[in-house]
Amino acid sequence: MTHHLYLGLGSNLGHREQIIQSALALINQALGKVERISSFYETEPWGFESEHKFLNIAAFVLTDLSPHECLYKTQEIERQLGRKQKSTDGIYHDRPIDIDILLYDHLKLSTPDLIIPHPLIKERDFVLIPLKEIYPSDSELCL
């Protein structure tokens, strides 16, 4: 069965656009077909201080994988592209790539390692604006 997966991608270290493009190519190989991506948005860091601005996009992917399989694959892609550690307990830091699962079909899921819809979508314009750009205009965001 094919599922609708929406991802948020961000980078604030290195060649940001190139890293995001590499992440999209790896997503296309490991998760499923990348159907749409939003425009690129340059934004200030959220939740921490840094001199490095972020480049952010949202991507719509058709996948046959489960939500947890998607999580493991995105974390593997982050590691491949140089991410050393995940943010924990609200402590954020500079990173070459961040890939968040935003939505998966109309699923609501809450496990210790994965919450869908992503719990901070509404607080983060750098996620919400690109997501709305690629989300079907005849549908309301299922947050």
Q: Which residues are catalytic?
A: 83, 95, 98, 100
- Sequence-separated contacts (24+) of 122-125 with Cβ below 8 Å: 124/46, 125/43
Task: Indicate the pairing of strand 109-111 with strand 114-116.
Answer: antiparallel
DSSP 27-89: HHHHTEEEEEE---EEE--SSS--SSPEEEEEEEEEE-S-HHHHHHHHHHHHHHTT-----BT
Is residue 76 within 8 Å of residue 30, measured between CB atoms?
yes
